Structure 1
Amino acid sequence: MPSGTAQLFTSLQRIAVEVVRQHVEQAAFLWAQRDTLSLEDPPDEAVMAEIGQRLEINLDGLRIAGRAAWPFVDRQLEDFPDKGEFFIAGWMAIEQEDAKRVESTIEAVRQADERRGLVGALSWHKPQKIGKLVRDWLRAHDALLRYLGVAACAAHAVDPKQLLERLVRDPDADTRALSLRLAGKLKRTDLAREMVAELEAADEGVRLWAGWALTELGSGDLARAELRSSAVADGFEALTALRAAVKAGPEKEVRAWLGGLMKSPQTAPVAVRGIGMLGDRTVLPWLIERMKEPTLAAAAGSSFLELFPVAREETKLFANDAAQIGPDFAKHFGDNQATLLLADKVETWAKTHAQPVARPG
């Protein structure tokens, strides 16, 4: 091979290697970014969809690269064992139907106690692609495998039929909680008795998802006390509990409960956020006033965006620095980053964009 051709070939190899490395890094970053955005209150679905499209472009690159991507995946997972890196490792192993790689990724998840990325990989693949794995995992003796199996079913709304009867009583609390969530999502009324029984469980997460599931079945009255307790506990799933408590109704009683929460500085933000979940746009003037109070501004902003999601497009309504609103806000938020709504701008915007809609019934 002439020297010039050899140099060109070597350069192309280096370029190809660099492209594969970038696909691995970008895919991990984009999925982690999208997942983090999904946890925002409320999430911006349009931005998430855009990121998802960019993620798919990078995943296509990894499909083409095949096994040549593994050195970069392994190095990245070793250096940064975070959710995005676990997503890529899990996605690649499943995509290539590599049983050993799937097993090693699961063991890495176990060691790092970081499940979210692998669950994300299961969610990203189509049910047909992961069906055999999931069926085996649901029957496994290993609690982590059972959890992953239920997580995959929940992501794709797949009913494991009679297996779910056992899984809602699983000895592992995390698996049991997720199974109850799946049972509620699937409207499994045949498991209502198990849901009621789990309201007395020792694990807080199990109690919460049992109550959530009952609410999905239209029996939220049985879980009302548990859901309201979880909603004000400031735990990881407090927002989920609050939404379920609001849905459990009846609305008049929910409003009275939220009114009681407004009387305490500790629970007032919960009340402000709950008001937005009622779907009543006529509360907008009240929410604007709450945006002027540092302790309630974030909750009021979330409620506003849930009621008026189109307002996300109006960048002039937002302040990325609390000090921009005033010294009281700067003192309250300190070094914590917060995107807040400017009450005066929202008030002006509302005059032409936020006409309240008539409520059904």
Structure 2
Amino acid sequence: MQAARPTHLSPQSPVHVIRGVHRPVVERHAVDCAFLWVLRDQAVKAPHYRMRNLLSLDRRIEANREGLVHAGDAGWAACLAELAQDEEDAGATFAAALVAFSTRRADHMRHICQLAVATPGGQRALISALGWLPFEPIAPILQRLAAGSEPRLRRVALRVLAIHRRDPFDALKQALTTDDPDLLEAAVRGLGESGRQDALPLLRARLDDAAAPVRATTAASLLMLGDADGLPWLEQEVMEAGPAATPALALVLRSVSPAEGRQLLSRLSGRPGSERMVIAGTGMLGDPLAIPWLISRMQDPPLARLAGEAFSMITGADLEYLDLDLDLSRNADAQVPEGERENEHEEPDDDVPPQDRHLPLPDPAGVQAWWAQHEASMAKGIRHLCGRPVTPASLLEILRTGYQRQRRAAALQWALMDPDRPFFDVRQRSDAQQRALQSCN
């Protein structure tokens, strides 16, 4: 959606104040809440955001939510006005769902549910809104949705239960008997993320008879719960380049020894078109033995940024902070007289893949020099993440201070090391993340 439109209205203007509600301000809350959610939805997956950045975004979203709820019917009307411009606007759907379920108005909740389930983006926004709110007030609503006849709303409820890591009515296990692949996938995923050891026998039973896409999710959940029965299925998903190949690779490489991981990456490198997966997988494996090869891949422009991220994933080196990147915009500006530079704030058009857009372009010579100084401090053949051997203490520090992709890697590694612990969700509300991290002290 487009960026928020500025308004220039005096808060003292009486023509806009009706029964204590300043309508332009309320409308601004609706626009901003929608826009900020879209920004946050991108930020939680971005390589250049940390949790402190999410905290800032989340406080602004919450302030806008409070303003809309405080405005009563005017707040709901403002959300509907945003939705009227585009019913498939996920940000506007999130804002409206947030207001509807905050106030728990049955007609408003019913209306936004009917709109949201019509599109995948709307469902994601509805799940996000319900995951944003405290669990206890919405628990009865989730119970009704999980037991209802509308499969899309049942799936929404299952995903929200997984986000909250709460399932007092055991809806996730009950849904394992369904033949609906979307519902089954949501249930299987939720049980793995929630650390539900009690579900292991049921998940094992579903591993062989589930459809292929659900089988990969089932194998992943088994592995996160400490059961290696899922490993062969995940390796097959990787080698056959299935739809879940990349997350499957992350699980496998963080579960096996570095030597076994190197063998898997070697086999994978023989498959045409696997270059990006092998580079990303090298970062996932975390063995400093591969650093020279990663530096060599930085010479290949289409792969350089990804190789730089894998290098940083292993070593913890922040390429921009250490001036180990090639600042293309700065170099281009050096050739143009002051005052004649155009598009100063736009990234150069160098065919950067979307997932690499915010990654720095490494300077291979600078990276090589840095590695020559630090190589002796990192033992080869031992898994590292962000410059340190993997331990609970090092993972906790990354969850507190790392970038989002590094934080997700730490969360995944922690879940594999401690299968009884629910998977730490680096996308959930940042204040809830802070509380969870404080409890780990």
When normalised by structure 2's length, the TM-score is: 0.69
User: Alignment partner for residue 274 of structure 1, among 259, 263, 281?
Assistant: 281
Q: CA deviation at 1:258?
A: 1.0
- Distance of 1:116 and 1:201 partners within structure 2: 28
Identify the residue that residue 301 of structure 1 maps to in structure 2.
Answer: 308
Identify the residue that residue 177 of structure 2 maps to in structure 1.
Answer: 169
- Distance of 2:44 and 2:141 partners within structure 1: 26
What SS does the corresponding residue of 2:148 show, helix, strand or coil?
A: coil
Paired residues of 1:289 and 1:343 also in contact (CA < 8 A): no
Q: CA deviation at 1:280?
A: 3.6
Identify the residue that residue 56 of structure 1 maps to in structure 2.
Answer: 62
Further displaced range: 37-46 or 78-87: 37-46
Q: CA deviation at 1:295?
A: 4.1
Identify the residue that residue 133 of structure 1 maps to in structure 2.
Answer: 141
Paired residues of 2:176 and 2:184 also in contact (CA < 8 A): yes
Q: Which amino acid aligns with 1:90?
A: A
- Distance of 2:53 and 2:291 partners within structure 1: 25
Q: Which amino acid aligns with 1:39?
A: K
Going from structure 1 to structure 2, the CA distance change for 1:244 and 1:21 (only over 3 Å counts) comes to: same
Going from structure 1 to structure 2, the CA distance change for 1:212 and 1:64 (only over 3 Å counts) comes to: same
Q: CA deviation at 1:358?
A: 5.8
Identify the residue that residue 4 of structure 1 maps to in structure 2.
Answer: none
- Distance of 1:235 and 1:321 partners within structure 2: 35
Paired residues of 2:216 and 2:233 also in contact (CA < 8 A): yes
Identify the residue that residue 126 of structure 2 maps to in structure 1.
Answer: 118
Identify the residue that residue 98 of structure 2 maps to in structure 1.
Answer: 91
User: Alignment partner for residue 187 of structure 1, among 170, 173, 195?
Assistant: 195
User: Alignment partner for residue 256 of structure 2, among 249, 265, 274?
Assistant: 249
User: Alignment partner for residue 39 of structure 1, among 42, 45, 49?
Assistant: 45
Q: CA deviation at 1:139?
A: 1.5
- Distance of 1:60 and 1:319 partners within structure 2: 43
Going from structure 1 to structure 2, the CA distance change for 1:308 and 1:150 (only over 3 Å counts) comes to: farther
Q: CA deviation at 1:277?
A: 1.6
- Distance of 1:213 and 1:246 partners within structure 2: 15
2:368 matched to 1:338?
A: no
Q: CA deviation at 1:40?
A: 3.5
Identify the residue that residue 27 of structure 1 maps to in structure 2.
Answer: 33
What SS does the corresponding residue of 1:39 show, helix, strand or coil?
A: coil
Q: Higher relative contact order at CA 8 Å, sep ≥6: structure 1 or structure 2? A: 2
Q: CA deviation at 1:57?
A: 2.3
Name the count of aligned residue pairs. 351
Going from structure 1 to structure 2, the CA distance change for 1:161 and 1:335 (only over 3 Å counts) comes to: closer
- Distance of 1:215 and 1:353 partners within structure 2: 34
2:15 matched to 1:10?
A: yes
Q: CA deviation at 1:137?
A: 1.6
What SS does the corresponding residue of 1:277 show, helix, strand or coil?
A: helix
Q: Which amino acid aligns with 2:357?
A: A
More helix by share: 1
2:246 matched to 1:239?
A: yes
- Distance of 2:196 and 2:353 partners within structure 1: 46
Paired residues of 2:26 and 2:67 also in contact (CA < 8 A): yes
Further displaced range: 225-234 or 132-141: 225-234
Going from structure 1 to structure 2, the CA distance change for 1:312 and 1:135 (only over 3 Å counts) comes to: farther
Going from structure 1 to structure 2, the CA distance change for 1:358 and 1:77 (only over 3 Å counts) comes to: closer
Alignment of 1:279-294 (within 5 A): 279-281=286-288, 283-294=290-301
Paired residues of 2:135 and 2:164 also in contact (CA < 8 A): yes
Q: Deviations over 1:287-346 (max 9, x none)?
A: 232222234324323323434567276295556869x89xxx977648997334223454
Q: CA deviation at 1:196?
A: 2.7
Paired residues of 2:304 and 2:362 also in contact (CA < 8 A): no
Q: Deviations over 1:158-199 (max 9, x none)?
A: 134643332123232112111111111233233223323333
Identify the residue that residue 156 of structure 2 maps to in structure 1.
Answer: 148
When normalised by structure 1's length, the TM-score is: 0.83
Q: Which amino acid aligns with 1:10?
A: V
- Distance of 1:61 and 1:16 partners within structure 2: 11
- Distance of 1:309 and 1:130 partners within structure 2: 40
Going from structure 1 to structure 2, the CA distance change for 1:46 and 1:272 (only over 3 Å counts) comes to: farther
Q: Can you give the 5+ residue segments of structure 2 that lack an aligned partner in the other structure? A: 1-11, 333-347, 379-386, 392-441
User: Alignment partner for residue 214 of structure 1, among 218, 222, 235?
Assistant: 222
